Amino acid sequence: MTHLPLLLTFVPIIVILALLLVWKRPADVSGIVGWAVISLIAWLSFQTSGEVILRSAVAGFIRSFSVSLIVAASLLQMAYMEKTGALRRVIIFIKTIACDNRAVQIMMINIGFGTLMVAVGATPVSLLPPILVAMGYSTYVAIALPAIGYDSLCTYALLGAPIVVFVDVANSFLGKGHEITLSQAGMVFFMFLPIVSTLIGVSMLWIVGKWQALKEGWLPCLITGMVIGVVSWLTNRHDNLVVLTGVVCGLAVIVAMILYLRATGKRLIDRRCTTTKVMDKEKEYPLRRALAPSTMLNLQILLLNVPQDVFNFLYRELRLPINGITANGAPLDTRALWQAYTWILVSILLSLPIIRPSSSQLKTTLSVWWKRAPRPVFSAAIFFAIGEIMNMSGYSMDSKTFAVPSMVKVLADYSSSFFADAYGAVVAFIGLFGGFITGSEASTIAMFGKYTLTTARNLNMDTHGLILLMAGLAFGGGLASVISPAKLQNAAASIDKLGAENQVIRVAFVFSLTLTAITSLFVMFFLS
């Protein structure tokens, strides 16, 4: 058997990696070059027509809506809060939290608040660095902690977009009558959360103060991991609550840290950390007013998902599919009235009477958003398109079958042959690699999900084993957040320290490899 198809399949991946690491190109530029290369290879070497390539690219963009449009909507919300002064008021409040207990502060802000934020579509790497600098943390720490903090629950970011993408990919792969549910996937995925979240807490304490910070903060760190483990076990038992795991875990960590402070006789809010000028600002701009968009968004998301009937209708019945796009004729479910991006926009509109922005503030908001949004949105979408072309390469619309094995099939066949039963030990590292080049766990699943599922089938794994391998892939992709150039650059840019992210990457690389190795061990343990 010739190795040429395998080598050609690796070419686009190598090109993307070279652009990111060697030529230091941003994710959107690397993605579009990778898309062009993979399209050319699919056409020339995998007997893929131009129509199949074009349809697959468009289908990939539509499949990305659960991520790309949330990025667009969340950037709009962030610009809106920034230009109306709401964000500044929130920052003032956060600065007063647990001033005399840094371990609690780190757990509460970076894991609790950070997880809650990203679960509903906000971006901790853009919002939290300025807050941490204002609280007295170094530039290095302010960049590193937000990137690491929500990693353990990254699978449940953006209203559970990664796990929703996985279930959709898996059900398309398994076929009618063999579908899996969100809770079926969630009850496997959650098993990784307690240990990974605890170790992420350990990593953050080490970054802040090494052994001394660990000595002082081991108990809040352990409590955080335990709370995430218990709460995620409860939420992942029910389909409608799986997507709320990030929201509920974030809130639970915040409550747990509040209770810990009370039990140890420490203050939660300490205005000694603020100045008289800042306190005047507090009176001028009430916190409830500043939090109106976020409060409304969280309430809407709870109302759409907690009642089982509402969730079933919006998620299962009202799929709002787009037909006539895919090469194989499969509909593309959008679930537009369930997705967080719709409700982020609604929350902004509902908050207008409370925030009361001026026309100039609204104009500036839209202007800032238009400058910030296009490239991150495109970056989120382009890797879905690449993954879709990989999946559909070799497909013939005339015969409605694959004329030659797809790129995904080629990769899976070689992987199952080469790694055999050891594939579980490497799948998390494949996820880490995917997360590094795509900058997104959901994009990693879109790009390498079918490949992993096909490999699992080649290895004769049952459904449980299949989900375990995908969990390993997903968590590896999530752990790549801490070394994602795009995310760290965003964090550095938010405090006007571009270039400082390079120091973070060198240290964070060790943590991400260590945590990925531990994830791999757990995959192998659970498989056994």
In tens digits, the chain (528 residues) has pLDDT values of 468 888 999 999 899 888 877 887 877 888 899 999 999 999 999 999 999 999 999 999 999 998 889 888 888 888 898 899 998 888 788 878 877 788 898 899 889 988 888 888 777 777 788 778 877 888 888 888 887 766 667 888 888 889 999 999 999 999 888 899 999 999 999 999 999 899 999 999 998 989 999 999 999 999 999 999 999 999 999 999 999 999 999 999 999 999 999 898 887 776 666 665 666 666 778 889 999 998 999 899 999 999 999 999 999 899 999 999 999 999 999 999 999 899 999 999 999 999 999 999 999 999 989 988 888 888 889 999 999 999 999 999 999 999 999 999 999 999 999 998 899 999 999 999 888 887 788 889 998 999 999 999 999 999 999 999 999 999 998 888 777 766 776 677 667 676 666 777 777 888 888 999 999 999 999 998
Give CA 142 to chain center in angstroms. Answer: 20
Tell me the C-alpha to C-alpha distance, in Å, between residue 320 and each of 27, 160, 188, 310.
30, 19, 29, 15
Distance between start and end Cα atoms, the chain? 32
The H-assigned helical ranges of 439-496 are: 441-458, 463-479, 485-493
CB atoms under 10 Å from CB of 471, counted, come to 27
Which tokens go with 361? 């503030």
Q: Which residues contact 331 (CB under 8 A, 6 or more apart)?
A: 319, 321, 322, 323
| Entry pTM | 0.88
pLDDT at 280: 62
Contact 190, 160 (CB under 8 A): no
Closest C-alpha among 108, 60, 112 to residue 438: 60
Give CA 428 to chain center in angstroms. Answer: 15
Give CA 53 to chain center in angstroms. Answer: 27
* Phi, psi for 385 (deg, rounded to 5): -65, -45
